């Protein structure tokens, strides 16, 4: 007797916006990402396929009425004055196990993430990553689908995006 297959409880891969989405995009273990809804560009992020969800370093979390949350995104590891104030809708609250094995309750929000020219909506947990090198950790649900991670390199997505822009900017020869 064959066991029956049940539906996965994991979230489906987020929908992506990209023209010609047939080939996978190779990205490195570290990339610069944009969070366009919050006017954040060039945020250093570590790609972590061992983590299911993504995490973002924030300070001054304040719960607001109507299931909203206010916080400050800390943009730079050393320059703590570089911040962006954000108000967002809470998508969920969940117990998360950190890399040290400790469980904490975190708030999650949804926003658009742009990585290597591909834009998709992702869910991000808000956490204090002050002791970490990278302000953002991008988990495997955010990179599932169009991305392949090359752990031997960094900023491959950025390089590919710049090369594609140079190629389209070239003038035709006469």
DSSP readout, 69-102? EEEEEE--SS-TT-EEEEEEEEEEEEEEE-TTS-
Q: What is the pLDDT of residue 58?
A: 93
| CATH code: domain of residue 94 | 2.40.70.10
User: What mean pLDDT comes out for the span 124-131?
Assistant: 82
CA 164 to chain centre: 22
Domain that holds residue 128: 22-168
Q: Contact 124/54 with Cβ under 8 angstroms? A: yes
Q: What is the pLDDT of residue 16?
A: 54
Residue 110 lies in a domain: yes
Of 101 and 10, more confident: 101
User: What mean pLDDT comes out for the span 92-114?
Assistant: 89
How confident is the model over 21-79, as pLDDT tens digits? 568 899 999 999 999 999 999 999 999 998 899 999 999 999 999 999 999 998 877 66
Q: What is the pLDDT of residue 170?
A: 63
Q: Contact 153/24 with Cβ under 8 angstroms? A: no
User: What mean pLDDT comes out for the span 131-148?
Assistant: 89
How confident is the model over 82-97, as pLDDT tens digits? 889 999 999 999 988 8
Residue 79 lies in a domain: yes
Residue 14 lies in a domain: no
Residue 8 pLDDT > 70, yes or no?
Answer: no
**116: nearest Cα among 78, 147, 76, 94:** 147
Residue 41 lies in a domain: yes
Q: Angle CA(21)–CA(167)–CA(159) in degrees, nearest 5? A: 70
**126: nearest Cα among 30, 61, 49:** 61
Q: Count Cβ atoms within 10 A of the Cβ of residue 8 and give its class: 0-12 exposed, 13-18 middle, 19 or more buried.
A: exposed
Q: What is the pLDDT of residue 159?
A: 80
Residue 173 lies in a domain: no
User: What mean pLDDT comes out for the span 135-159?
Assistant: 91
Residue 16 lies in a domain: no
Domains held by the chain: number: 1
Residue 151 lies in a domain: yes
Beta-carbon contacts of 23 under 8 Å, excluding residues fewer than 6 positions away, are none
Q: Which residue has the tokens 């972590």?
A: 48
Q: Contact 121/17 with Cβ under 8 angstroms? A: no
Residue 114 lies in a domain: yes
* φ/ψ (deg, to 5) at 25: -100, 125
């Amino acid at each position: 007797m064959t066991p029956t297959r049940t539906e996965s409880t994991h979230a489906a891969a987020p929908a992506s916006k990209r023209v010609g989405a047939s080939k996978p995009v190779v990205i490195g273990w570290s990339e610069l990402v944009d969070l366009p809804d919050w006017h954040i560009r060039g945020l250093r992020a570590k790609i972590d396929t061992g983590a299911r969800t993504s995490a973002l370093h924030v300070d001054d979390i304040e719960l607001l009425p109507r299931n909203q949350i206010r916080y400050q995104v800390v943009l730079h590891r050393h320059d703590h004055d570089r911040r962006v104030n954000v108000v967002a809708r809470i998508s969920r609250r969940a117990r998360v196990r950190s890399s040290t094995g400790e469980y904490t309750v975190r708030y999650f929000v949804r926003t658009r993430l742009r990585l290597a020219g591909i834009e998709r909506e992702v869910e991000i947990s808000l956490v204090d990553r002050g002791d970490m090198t990278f302000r953002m950790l991008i988990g495997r649900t955010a990179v599932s689908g169009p991305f392949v991670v090359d752990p031997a390199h960094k900023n491959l997505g950025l390089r590919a995006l710049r090369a594609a822009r140079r190629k389209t900017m070239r003038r035709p020869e006469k």
